[in-house]
Each structure stands twice: as C-alpha cells, then as structure tokens.
A and B are shown apart, each in its own frame.
Chain A
C-alpha cells in the first residue's frame, strides 16, 4: 500500500507535537528534551536539505554553520554573564542573553561565512566540492580548539538558558515550543522555495546546469544563494542546540556532525520536505533506544545506513510513499 506523502507529512508533524504534549501530561520532562533535540537537528538538516536536496550541493561541512550558531550564542551569553564586553579595539560590544538578538547575530554571521565559503567552494564541483567543504569544517574545528579565550578544547558553558521575551525558556515545553515554531517556519520556507521560480531553477541547475545557462540564468548564482540560505538555517539550529545544552564546544564543528546531518536527510529522503524531520526523529530514537542497549550502537547505525544506501533508495519517505529521493 502506498501512502500519500501529504498524509505522511501531516502525521509526522502531529506526532512531533503530540509526543511532548503527552510527556507533559505524564510529567516526563526528559522525553520533551529528547524531542526538542530531534526538532533542532531536523531544523539543521532542513537547512542542509536546501543545498543538498534541491541544489545538489553535497556539503560535508555544514557543521561550520551549526558551530558558528553555537559559538555566537556561547560568546554573547558568556560576555553577558561575566559582565564583560567584546573588545574590538576601536569599539566594543556588550554580550546579551536575549535569544532573538543572538539569533540575528548567528544568522548574519552564518550568511557572511556561507557567502565566503560558497564563493570559494562553488568554483569546484563533485568530489572536490565535498572535500573542500569538509576541509573548511576542519579549519573551523581546529580554530575553535586553539581559541583559548573561549574555552578552546573544553568549550564554553553558560549558567542558565537565554531569555525569550514573554516565555520561560527553562520550562522544557516552552523551549520546545520555540524550536517547533522555528522548524515549522523553516519547513514553510523550504516548501515555498521548492515551488518558487528560484527553487525550480535551482532544481534544474542540479539536473542539467547547461540548460539553465542556456535560458539565461547563472547556476553559480543560484547555488550560492541556496548555499547561503542553507547555512543560515543550519546556523540558527546551532544557536538553539547550544541553548538546549547550555554548552558549546568544538565538537559542534566536527566532521562527524557534518556527516550526521547528511545522514539525517538520507534516512528521511533526499530533497523531500519532511525528509530531514523524519530522519532526525529516527536518528534520535535510535540513539536513545540502541544507545540504551549497547554502547556500541554506532555499529547498528552504520549497518542501517549501509542498507539504506544499498537497498532503500529514497529513505523512509521512499519506502512508505514510493517516491524516490532527488538524485544528487
């Protein structure tokens, strides 16, 4: 029996809302935190899905943005909680504990860095692109490790979660609400983007760049814009993730994280609207369930991943609806 993708998408979103609400009733705050984690990872992967799924850009360095978002939050909150200012010589900036401000900083930073990395990396394609983005990721990773002022290898802790006007972010369900709304907005953006002229052109540029050029569009520009939007969303997720854990460390820049973000998309379905969301839920569930059974749960993750790549093209969405993922 083939399921309609729209029904599946609706069911997933409803499930994502229902589980934490049920956990709220039964008073299991840990479950809410677990779902929040899945929601934030899903947001990061929705960002990557714009570059990867629509644009065909296999970025193996999206942890750069995740980490930048995290460090934007960590550094601003660090300065706010120690009542120190960031000194730039000619001027100085005070820290802040207000989430929306932190998000704006994280998003701006990620947009700039994505523009820079995109300009350099998009000169290449195929395997070169994969490896260059990977190398950029490592570059930030090592920089974060050697940046002793902000914790170096040990990372930065903040005492309390940052504030959101009108809400108490320390209550798990309220923080979940913030993350869920942001995820919903990102999904809306993804959906609009996919069906807008820009998304269609980007999709075409992935499939046959030459034809896109023939009709007068520049694939490079399309891909660059997609890469920047993609980096921005992943960066926002990074800021949320850091706030969830109240901790940032260089591991947010690690290449394993970049790999995991791709994995989330593959598990769900490449280029599908809810692919990253389903992938993140499956991933967090596996991590929790298998991780509880054995410390070697990565072996099983590896085997599952291998079977998806070899036998189940299109991920979970492909299995349930018969729709293949985008060819990248």
Chain B
C-alpha cells in the first residue's frame, strides 16, 4: 500500500466520477425542468458509444467518432422527446417509468438488430495512448487523464450555460414556474426539446469516451444509468451541483472501496476471507453510501423538491 497506489486509485475514482457526472447531469436537468424520470437515458449513452465506434471504425478518426456520438445521441434524444416523451410530462411517474422502460427495450433490441450481439471496439487515439508521468513519478494513462479534463470542462461549461446564458435563464425559470415563462413568450416545448437533446448529447459523449476503455455493447447503458440514479439521489434530484458532488462521491467510493476494503479486512481476518468479504461489501458500497445520505437528508445533499 503505497502513496502512488493511493493517488492512482483516487485518479481512477475521479475519472469514473466525472463520466458519471456527464450521465447524471442530463438526468437531473431533465427531471428538474420537466419533472420526467427518464430510464432511457442509458440507451442514449449506448447510442453515443455505437455511433462513435461505427464512425471511428469507418473513418479511422476518433474525433469524428466523438462528433458523431454527440450528433447521434442529440438527434435520438430530440426525436424520442418529440414522438414519445412529450406526451408523458403530465403523466404519473409510473407511466413515465414504463414508457421509458419500453424505450430501453426498443433501443436495445434495435441496436442488437443493426449491429449484432458482438461487442464493437473503439480504439484510444494514438496521440492519447500510453502513460504520462505525473509530478512525483507516477505513471498514469494519458487517456484517463484526458477524460478527467473533459469531464471537468463540461461541468464548467454546463455551469456557465446555466448561469450566464439566455437559454440558461430560461432553463432555471422553467424549473421554477413553467406556466409563467410560457406566458412570457418562451416556446416551452422547443425549450424542452433542447434540454432533452442537450442531456442526450452529454450521455452520448460519456458513452463514446468510456466506450474506448470498455467494450461497446448492447446493454452497456443500464448499469451506468442506475449508478447515475444513485448519483442524483445522493446529490438531490434537479441539482446540477448535487449531481457533480454526488458523481465524485460515487466514483471515489466505488473505486477506493474495491481496492481498500479487502486490505482493511485483512487486518482482522485471513487473506482469502478478507478478499471475498471485502469485495462483496465494496460492491454494495455506493448503495450503503446512498442509504446513509438519505437517512441524513431524505431529499439528497442539495435537493429541495421530493
């Protein structure tokens, strides 16, 4: 157990956390403004990853793949919003859950139909592959470091978008009082489509970026989706700031728990048993974290509405 290992794991946790943030930001925005619980968000993540893998596979360019991911996910999001989601804003949560569950089935099987059941692979671009030496002599993959940078940049960009721009003002107004901003002449359904497409694009970006370090396959979105739910429940549904802090907490807990809990257990039990029970507990770590946060604050760290 050295300092280098700890720093490496903290970086891994951060990288995981910022990618979760990209997912969680869209989810929390969509819930905050439209009051919609969107299970199909994981499908948009998958769409982004497949678009990136397909385009990068044909053109050989990772950047083009990323652009394709953003466009494909945003378009898929906009279409889904206009065809299905729009009818669900006033519906009960149960109906929203079901309709978006149905969308998952359609997206997953549709993708399987087009691309087959075998995973696709998206390669890390040459310029970003290989390790980089950090101060203190730590070797760390450049690509993962880039992911952290992109995630932080998106977080800052999103903050600027919401706090500083006209559309951001409309989004915040939509969260508070949708009738009022409609009365002030803002085209509310266009605003909703834009927000949904924005959330979808962020999910697609996350899918493409993570797709390069994992395989791109059907069903890749749902585990991430559920983690993103945990994130926004911890952070408080509707709060971007909450999503950011929640995402980092979840990322760090999951990564560090998996490494350090078995080590911790070794202090008072034999190695094999410690390895087993440590990793079993660690796999539940974030849910325990969520339980603790909710006992303390039933609406999450930064949540106001239930």
In residues 134-159 of chain A, which contact B (Cβ within 8 Å)? Answer: 134-136, 138-139, 142-143, 145-149
**Residue on A with the closest CB to B237?**
A127
- Name the A residues within 8 Å of B105 (CB-CB): 298-299, 301-302, 305
Whether the Cβ atoms of B279 and A146 lie closer than 8 Å is: yes
Contact A299 to B31, CB < 8 A, known contacts A145-B283, A310-B87 = no
Chain A interface size range: 35 or more
From A303, which residue of chain B is reached at the shortest CB distance?
A: B106
How does the 8 Å CB contact mask read for B223-245 relative to A, with 1 for contact and 0 for none?
A: 00010011011000100000000
**Which A294-328 residues have C-beta < 8 A from chain B?**
296-299, 301-303, 305-306, 308-310, 327-328
* Min CB–CB distance A239 → chain B (angstroms): 23
Q: Mark B87-102, 1 if CB is under 8 A from A, else 0.
A: 1100111110111011
Report yes or no: A130 in contact with B226, Cβ–Cβ below 8 A.
no
The stretch among B108-116, B132-140, B167-175, B180-188 that forms the contact with chain A is B108-116
Are the C-beta atoms of A60 and B97 separated by less than 8 Å? yes
Indicate whether A296 sits within 8 Å of B233 (C-beta atoms), given known contacts A139-B284, A309-B99: no
CB of B298 within 8 A of CB of A123, answer yes
| Contact call B92/A328, Cβ cutoff below 8 A | yes
Of B106, B112, B287, the residue contacting A135 (CB under 8 A) is: B287
Q: In the complex, which of the residues B91, B97, B99, B306 contacts A306, with contact meaning CB atoms closer than 8 Å?
A: B99
Interface of chain B, main secondary structure: helix
Given contacts A305-B102, A328-B92, contact A132 B294 (CB under 8 A): yes
Tell me, in angstroms, the Cα distance from A207 to B77 when the chains sit together: 33
8 A Cβ contacts from A38-52 to B: 52
Q: Say which residue of A126, A266, A303 sits within 8 Å of B306 (CB atoms).
A: A126
| Separation of A270 and B97 alpha carbons in the complex (Å) | 14
| 8 Å CB interface, A252-282 against B | 255, 259, 262-263, 266, 270
Q: Please tell me if the beta carbons of B226 and A328 are within 8 angstroms of each other in the complex.
A: no
Name B213-262 residues within 8 Å CB distance of A: 222, 226, 229-230, 232-233, 237
Taking CB as reference atom, which chain B residue is nearest A309? B99
A306 touching B84, Cβ below 8 Å: yes
Contact status of A296 and B112, CB under 8 A, knowing A135-B290, A305-B102: yes
Q: Closest approach, in angstroms, between the C-beta of B272 and any C-beta of chain A?
A: 10
In the bound complex, residues from chain A placing their C-beta under 8 Å from that of B112 are 296
Contact B103 A302 (CB under 8 A): yes
Task: Please tell me which one of the listed residues B92, B98, B99, B222 contacts residue A255 in the complex, with CB atoms under 8 A apart.
Answer: B222
Known: A134-B226, A146-B279, A255-B226. A125 touches B306 (CB 8 A): yes
Decide if A245 is an interface residue (CB 8 Å cutoff). Answer: no
11 A-B residue pairings within 8 Å (CB atoms)? A52-B94, A123-B294, A131-B37, A131-B232, A131-B233, A135-B233, A135-B290, A299-B113, A306-B84, A310-B84, A328-B92
Beyond known contacts A309-B91, A328-B94: 12 more, CB 8 A cutoff: A126-B93, A127-B93, A135-B287, A138-B287, A143-B280, A145-B283, A259-B101, A262-B94, A262-B97, A298-B105, A298-B106, A302-B105
